[in-house]
């Protein structure tokens, strides 16, 4: 089983050889741009107002950077798990081609999810490199933020893959981004502590996987993580990834093994 | 300026189309008269579609002269196109709209009043046998239905000249016959048809007159009957032998036929009397795996003119 | 063979020039047909359009409840002290006018050009290449104007409008949309595959982040200020912010001129390129 999934993974890696230049450029440039504009530029306004000192990390840039790391993992995951999955089912029909070989449905799914995990590790590693260049990785614990960011991404990638596999066209994806991904990006603790949200909205932010991802990455990056909360975040994110995988497996069987 | 009925609808002299170094159309002359069904017959890459796109005012000339409906496409493209109907090689239907909406918006591109379009759309849907699918999206329609819709769309402005680029390529036999029937009716109504095809049966069915195109040039011109009489014999004897023997056997059949074509899978003997030639074959002690006597077709004309077959 | 009609041989580009020029002079009646086509499509998918409005609204709310509280107040264009939310809101309006126009003019047009082949069918009718360009840009502007109007209304309700000059924000949003839609379409005509759209993102993101959108121009060192002032969205943001806060001066005309020239240049390139692509 494992080796069959590797062959499916190999397809995605092989295909990536043609497109990696563009994606690497944006994986590198977009964190640089965000860190410069929001961290340095906007950060200077926040820190001048005196509110910056009360934030975790003691300044807006230090507060923002690990939050952006987790949010970027989420956005990468959402992109990788929507159009490419739909394309492999309907447009390019890559999955159908794979299933005409000895590969099984579970191998096809496992290979593609493994590919998404690799992409997330790559994007997060580049982001961490940029963070280091901006001086926002104060402790060696920051290295642990790498798997944490990838796990955050998988908490989105797996359930979104399941969602994409049930769709007939890509119309639902823009709704997913507009009403799911972007609101989470803006309200789940990346740009400001969720304590600032009106009280009734705070529980909503708590249940979003992104808030757990942001909290985990921030605590690890700043070296302030404690075992209890950190394990809680990991378990919560892991549960989303696992449940998503189960749903995706069911959706793939329903869609492809007919 | 109203065009004189005696004047040709299309008049081309030395028509050329070049794409960089590639010469797609290499100086061709032709005329199409009102009410005629005129065909460009030739294999893929012969320059048929390029010639058609110039006639449709979709492609500037690289050389030569062209008059359509008595007008110059370089100057009067808009006026010419408002009197043409084009059925392109790809259907280019609007997949985001329904069948009826496709007719509606295409009519609007011609600046027709909404009421006129609605009336014509109903008639055209009936003509294209799509009335029951009028409010369905286009995507799930069969290939034949899409093709009929494309033809109906091209008729929305009641064109004087209907251009059809490979109207039945890719359709199954039933869908092709239905389409030929519809085109035949248009011809009966007096619509001038110009079509390109690489199917000789289509050319024989629909065209009053045609040109055979090869490598951007016109190799022959005439009615289907004239072309066959001029370039082929009355009958053809097709012989199949075991694999690989055809070249050697052709030599043994010398004198039995006016001309022998050696194809990879069979021999074609061009003769006046096929049964007589088959008897002659047997008399020479040859035992073909199969033998078929048939009438000459445009395919034979094309083979004679170019040494190649229409559809590979 | 019948006698030859009076024929003059024309240069090959004749058709192209003839098809590009007269409709532009005749005005937009035929261009309107493209708008009609898009309306027909979007009658069924209006919900997609409606949902597009929420994105800038979410940004505004996030800044209102979150970042605005962290920043407090900033100095506005006229030297007056305003809330951070009132500072960013007009910039978000200008950015979303840009974003909507670019999205329509790049992804949507590329899809229609290369995959749906919409224009191949259109050009077989009396509708010409410039009609297509004008029609699609008009459509992008109509959508953008509706978004901007609703956003402006929300700003007014939240008390973020500080001057009657704000009534001019709407035509300015149309101008911003025109400038970016025209340049976006011109860029799209050079695109070969979806991979090239990574570069669209790479161009739009820095414009969004650095055009004095989220903090005053004076935050930058002087050298960088000059560079920012050369970029297009900066002029859109500065113009909308000036109108919204009422700090309007003659400098506003420079912004208008910049955006207008950009739009006309984009439109000229688009017409030429579309003719090149479609009328081969």
Interface predicted TM-score (ipTM):
0.90
Q: Rounded to whole angstroms, how far apart are CA atoms C191 and C108?
A: 13
Domain that holds residue C209: 27-278
The helix-helix angle for C169-188 and C129-157 (nearest 10°) equals 140
Query: Are A159 and A118 spatial neighbours (Cβ–Cβ below 8 Å)?
Result: no
Does residue A48 belong to any structural domain of this protein?
A: no
Across B249-269, average pLDDT: 86
Mean pLDDT throughout B150-174?
92
Judged against a pLDDT cut of 70, whether residue C15 lies above it is answered with: no
Taking chain B, what is the end-to-end CA distance rounded to the nearest angstrom?
45
* Residue B22 CB coordination number (10 Å): 10
C window 118-177, beta carbon within 8 A of B? 118, 120-128
Q: Over 50: is that where the pLDDT of C9 sits?
A: no
pLDDT class for B264, splitting at 50, 70, 90?
A: confident
Helix axes C169-188, C251-278, angle to 10 degrees: 30
Decide: B298 and B228 in contact? Cβ < 8 Å.
Answer: yes
Out of C9, C18, C123, closest to residue B75 by CB:
C18
For B35-80, write each residue's pLDDT tens digit: 999 999 988 889 999 999 999 999 999 999 999 999 999 999 899 9
Q: Which residues contact B273 (CB under 8 A, 6 or more apart)?
A: B234, B235
Binned at pLDDT 50, 70 and 90, residue C5 comes out as very low
Strand B235-240 and strand B290-295: the pairing is antiparallel
Q: Average the pLDDT over A28-45 and give the result.
A: 92
Strands B84-87 and B235-240: unpaired
Q: CA-nearest residue of chain C to A54?
A: C70
Domain residue spans of chain B: 10-223, 233-295
Token look-up 């170019």 returns B306
Percentage of the residues of chain C whose pLDDT score is greater than 70: 90
Task: Report the pLDDT value the prediction gives residue C26, as an integer from 0 to 100.
Answer: 43
Is residue C8 a part of any domain in this protein?
no
Torsion sign, CA atoms A235, A236, A237, A238: positive
Indicate the range of A18-27, B129-138, C126-135 predicted with least confidence: A18-27
Q: How confident is the model at residue C7 (pLDDT cuts 50, 70, 90)?
A: very low
Render the burial of B117-153: b for 16+ CB within 10 Å, e for the rest. beebbeebbebbebeebeeeebeebeebbbbbbbbbb
- Residue of C65, C58, C57 whose CA lies nearest to C84: C65
Confidence of residue C266 (pLDDT cuts 50, 70, 90): very high
C19 inside domain: no
pLDDT mean across residues, chain C: 85
Mean pLDDT computed over C163-183 = 93
- Is C84 in CB contact (< 8 Å) with chain A? yes
Residues of A in contact with C61 (CB under 8 A): 186
Long-range Cβ contact pairs of B245-248 (< 8 A, separation 24 or more): none
Note whether residue C202 is domain-resident: yes
User: Considering only alpha carbons, which residue of chain C is nearest residue B104?
Assistant: C37
Chains that touch C (3 or more CB pairs under 8 A): A, B
pLDDT in tens, C61-117: 999 889 999 999 998 888 889 999 999 999 999 999 999 899 888 888 888 887 778
Does pLDDT of A21 surpass 90? no
Task: Note whether residue A11 is domain-resident.
Answer: yes
Q: Residue A77 is part of which domain span?
A: 2-15+27-43+53-256
A22 belongs to a structural domain: no
pLDDT at B312 over 70: no
CB C121 to CB B92 under 8 A?
A: yes
pLDDT above 90 covers what percent of chain A? 78
CATH homologous superfamily of B10-223: P-loop containing nucleotide triphosphate hydrolases (3.40.50.300)
Place of tokens 């399941």: A162
Distance CA A184, CA A201 (A): 12
Specify the length of chain C in residues. Answer: 280
How far apart are the CA of A199 and the nearest CA of chain C, in angstroms?
12
C107 or A151, which is more confident? A151
The two domains B10-223 and B233-295 share their CATH topology (first three levels equal): no
CA distance to B43, B161, B185, B207, B226, per residue, from B223 (Å): 19, 20, 20, 8, 5
Domain count, chain C: 1
Q: Where are the beta strands (DSSP E) in chain C?
A: 73-75, 81-83
Residue of C nearest to B24 (CA): C280
Separation CA C260–CA C266 (nearest Å): 10
Residue A109: inside a domain: yes
Sign of the C-alpha dihedral computed for residues A230, A232, A234 and A240 taken in this order: negative
pLDDT recorded at residue B263: 86
Contact B189, B35 (CB under 8 A): no
Contacts of B9 in chain C (CB under 8 A): none
* pLDDT confidence bin for C22, thresholds 50/70/90: very low
Q: What angle do CA B208, B211, B217 make, to 5 degrees?
A: 170
User: For residue B4, what pLDDT band results from cuts at 50, 70 and 90?
Assistant: low
The tens digit of pLDDT for each residue in C220-241 reads: 999 999 999 999 999 999 999 9
Tell me the nearest-neighbour CA distance from B93 into chain C, angstroms.
7
Q: Quick check: C23 pLDDT over 60? A: no
Task: List, for residues B180-223, the tens digit of each pLDDT value.
Answer: 998 999 999 989 999 999 888 888 889 999 999 999 999 999 99
Mark out chain A residues that contact chain C at CB-CB < 8 A.
Answer: 19, 22-23, 25-26, 29-30, 33-34, 36-38, 41-42, 44-46, 49, 51-52, 55, 60, 171, 174-175, 178-179, 182-183, 186-187, 191-192, 196-198
Partners of B95 on chain C (C-beta within 8 Å) are 116
Which two tokens mark A167?
A: 């769709």
Residue A113 pLDDT exceeds 80:
yes
Q: Is B176 exposed, middle or buried (0-12, 13-18, 19+ CB in 10 A)?
A: buried
CATH topology of domain B233-295: Alpha-Beta Plaits (3.30.70)
Cβ atoms within 10 A of the Cβ of A174, count? Answer: 14
Contact A52, A196 (CB under 8 A): no
Q: How many CB pairs under 8 A join B and C?
A: 116
Strands B22-32 and B10-19 come out as antiparallel
Whether residue A189 is contained in a domain is answered as yes
State pTM to two decimals: 0.80
Give the chain A residue whose CA is nearest to the CA of C67: A192
DSSP B86-126: EE-SS----TTSBHHHHHHHHHHHTT--HHHHHHHHHHHHH
pLDDT digit string, tens, across residues A201-231: 999 999 999 999 999 999 999 999 999 999 9
CA distance C69 to chain A (A): 8
Does some domain include residue A20? no
CB contact under 8 A, C9 and B63: yes
Q: What is the mean pLDDT of chain A?
A: 93
Which H/E stretch holds residue B152?
A: helix B143-154
Structure tokens at B179: 């389409």
**A173: in domain:** yes
pLDDT tens, residue by residue, A154-181: 999 999 999 999 998 888 898 899 999 9
Lowest mean pLDDT among A218-222, B8-12, B282-286, C228-232: B282-286
Mean pLDDT of chain B: 90
Q: What pLDDT is stored for residue C181 in this prediction?
A: 93
C to A contact (≥3 Cβ pairs closer than 8 Å): yes
The beta-carbon neighbor of C205 closest among A30, A45, A186 is: A30
Q: What is the pLDDT of residue B217?
A: 94
Percent of chain A, pLDDT > 70? 99
Buried b (16+ CB within 10 A) or exposed e, C96-130: bbbbbbbbbbbbbbbebbeebbbbbbbbbbbbbbb
Alpha-carbon distance A110 to A227, whole Å?
Answer: 30
CA C21 to chain B, closest CA, distance in angstroms equals 11
In a domain, C20, yes or no: no
* Min Cα–Cα distance to chain A from C59, Å: 7
Taking an 8 Å cut-off on Cβ atoms, the answer to whether B109 and C15 are in contact is no
């Amino acid at each position: 089983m494992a080796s069959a999934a590797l062959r499916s993974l190999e397809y995605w890696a092989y295909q990536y050889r043609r497109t990696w230049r563009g994606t690497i450029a944006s994986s590198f440039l977009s964190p640089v741009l965000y860190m410069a504009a929001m961290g340095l530029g906007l950060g200077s306004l926040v820190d001048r107002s005196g509110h910056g000192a009360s934030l975790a990390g003691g300044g807006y840039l230090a507060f923002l950077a690990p939050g952006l790391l987790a949010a970027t993992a989420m956005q990468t995951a959402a992109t990788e798990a929507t159009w490419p999955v739909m394309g492999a089912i309907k447009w390019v029909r890559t999955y159908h081609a794979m299933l005409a070989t000895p590969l099984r449905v579970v191998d096809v799914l496992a290979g593609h999810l493994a590919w998404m995990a690799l992409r997330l590790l790559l994007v997060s590693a580049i982001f961490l490199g940029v963070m280091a260049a901006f001086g926002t990785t104060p402790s060696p614990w920051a290295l642990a933020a790498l798997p944490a960011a990838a796990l955050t991404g998988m908490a989105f990638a797996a359930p979104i893959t399941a969602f994409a596999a049930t769709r007939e066209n890509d119309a639902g994806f823009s709704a997913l981004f507009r009403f799911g991904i972007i609101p989470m990006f803006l309200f789940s603790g990346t740009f400001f502590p969720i304590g600032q949200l009106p009280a009734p909205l705070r529980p909503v932010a708590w249940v979003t996987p992104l808030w757990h991802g942001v909290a985990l990455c921030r605590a690890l990056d700043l070296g302030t993580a404690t075992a209890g909360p950190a394990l809680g975040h990991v378990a919560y994110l892991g549960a989303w990834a696992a449940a998503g995988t189960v749903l995706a497996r069911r959706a793939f069987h329903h869609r492809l093994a007919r | 300026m109203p065009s004189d009925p005696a004047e040709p609808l299309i008049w081309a002299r030395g028509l050329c189309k070049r794409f960089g170094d590639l010469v797609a159309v290499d100086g061709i002359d032709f005329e199409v008269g009102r009410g005629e069904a005129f065909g460009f017959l030739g294999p893929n890459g012969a320059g048929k579609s390029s010639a058609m796109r110039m006639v449709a005012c979709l492609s500037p000339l690289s050389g030569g002269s062209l008059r359509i409906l008595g007008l110059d496409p370089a100057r009067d493209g808009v006026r010419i196109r408002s009197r043409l109907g084009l059925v392109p090689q790809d259907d280019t239907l609007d997949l985001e709209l329904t069948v009826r909406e496709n007719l509606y918006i295409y009519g609007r591109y011609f600046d027709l009043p909404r009421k006129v379009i609605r009336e014509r759309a109903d008639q055209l849907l009936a003509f294209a046998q799509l009335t029951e699918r009028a409010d369905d999206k286009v995507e799930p329609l069969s290939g034949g239905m899409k093709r009929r819709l494309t033809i109906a769309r091209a008729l929305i402005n009641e064109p004087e000249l209907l251009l059809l680029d490979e109207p039945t390529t890719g359709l199954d036999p039933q869908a092709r016959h239905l389409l030929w029937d519809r085109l035949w009716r248009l011809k009966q109504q007096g619509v001038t048809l110009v079509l390109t095809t690489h199917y000789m049966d289509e050319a024989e069915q629909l065209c009053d007159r045609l040109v055979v195109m090869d490598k951007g040039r016109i190799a022959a011109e005439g009615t289907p009957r004239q072309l066959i009489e001029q370039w082929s014999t009355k009958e053809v004897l097709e012989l199949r032998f075991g694999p690989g023997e055809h070249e050697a056997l052709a030599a043994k059949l010398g004198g039995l036929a006016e001309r022998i074509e050696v194809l990879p899978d069979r021999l074609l003997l061009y003769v006046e009397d096929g049964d007589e030639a088959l008897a002659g074959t047997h008399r020479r002690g040859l035992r073909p795996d199969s033998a078929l006597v048939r009438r000459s077709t445009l395919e034979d004309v094309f083979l004679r003119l170019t040494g190649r077959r229409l559809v590979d | 063979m019948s006698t030859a009609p009076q024929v003059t041989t024309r240069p090959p580009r004749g058709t192209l020039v003839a098809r590009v020029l007269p409709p532009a002079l005749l005005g937009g009646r035929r261009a309107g047909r493209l708008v009609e086509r898009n309306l027909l499509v979007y009658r069924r998918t209006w919900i997609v359009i409606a949902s597009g409005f929420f994105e800038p609204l979410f940004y505004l709310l996030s800044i209102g409840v979150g970042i605005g509280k962290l920043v407090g107040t900033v100095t506005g264009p006229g030297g007056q002290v305003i809330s951070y939310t009132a500072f960013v809101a007009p910039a978000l309006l200008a950015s979303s006018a840009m974003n909507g126009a670019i999205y329509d003019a790049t992804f949507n047009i590329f899809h229609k050009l290369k995959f749906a082949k919409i224009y191949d069918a259109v050009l077989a009718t009396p509708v010409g290449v410039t009609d297509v360009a004008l029609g699609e840009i008009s459509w992008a502007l109509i959508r953008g104007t509706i978004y901007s109007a609703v956003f402006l209304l929300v700003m007014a309700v939240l008390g973020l409008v500080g001057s009657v000059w704000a009534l001019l924000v709407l035509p300015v949003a149309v101008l911003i949309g025109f400038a970016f839609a025209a340049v976006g379409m011109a860029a799209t005509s050079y695109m070969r595959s979806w991979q090239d759209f990574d570069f669209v993102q790479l161009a739009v993101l820095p414009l969004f982040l650095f055009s004095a959108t989220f903090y005053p121009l004076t935050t930058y060192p002087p050298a960088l200020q000059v560079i920012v002032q050369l970029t297009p969205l900066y002029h859109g943001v500065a113009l909308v912010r000036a109108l919204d806060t009422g700090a309007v001066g003659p400098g506003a005309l420079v912004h208008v001129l910049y955006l207008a020239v950009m739009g006309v240049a984009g439109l000229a390139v688009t017409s030429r390129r579309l003719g090149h692509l479609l009328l081969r």
